[in-house]
Amino acid sequence: MVSASLDQTVRVWDIGALRKKGVAPAEDLMRLTQMNTDLFGGGDAVVKYVLEGHDRGVNWASFHPTLPLIVSGADDRQVKLWRMNGMCFQTIFPRVMGIKLDGDIRS
């Protein structure tokens, strides 16, 4: 899994250790507290890589649908392409290339 953050980073998570969690109605406050710990406080997901390189908060990150790449976009108006080993190999400046951030091409 990949996540974007306002701390200017993209994180790649290893979620292979996640286990299916069942949620049953809580019988008392102690059980509810235990459920919250099990659902949200466990150490099942591990950060594999922290991708650094954006100058402002990252708003979007996604795996490429067919290639082993991660794509991220941030408030610094940059789109970055990352290899799966966590290395940025290309930074795209959409405005410089004549592409508005809403996807329209400037004439």
DSSP 67-96: SSEEEEEETTS-EEEEETTS-EEEEE-TTT
Edge-to-edge, what's the strand order for the sheet holding 58-63? Answer: 58-63, 69-74, 79-83, 88-92
Instruction: Identify the structural domains of the chain with CATH numbers, from first to last.
Output: 2-92 (2.40.10)
- For residue 10, give both structure tokens: 């993209």
Structure-token match 């459920």, residue found: 35
pLDDT tens string, the chain, 107 residues long: the values are 899 999 999 999 988 776 655 444 445 445 545 544 555 555 578 888 999 999 999 999 999 999 999 999 999 999 999 998 889 999 988 665 555 555 444 43
pTM of structure: 0.65
CA dihedral 14, 73, 57, 10 (to 10 degrees): 10
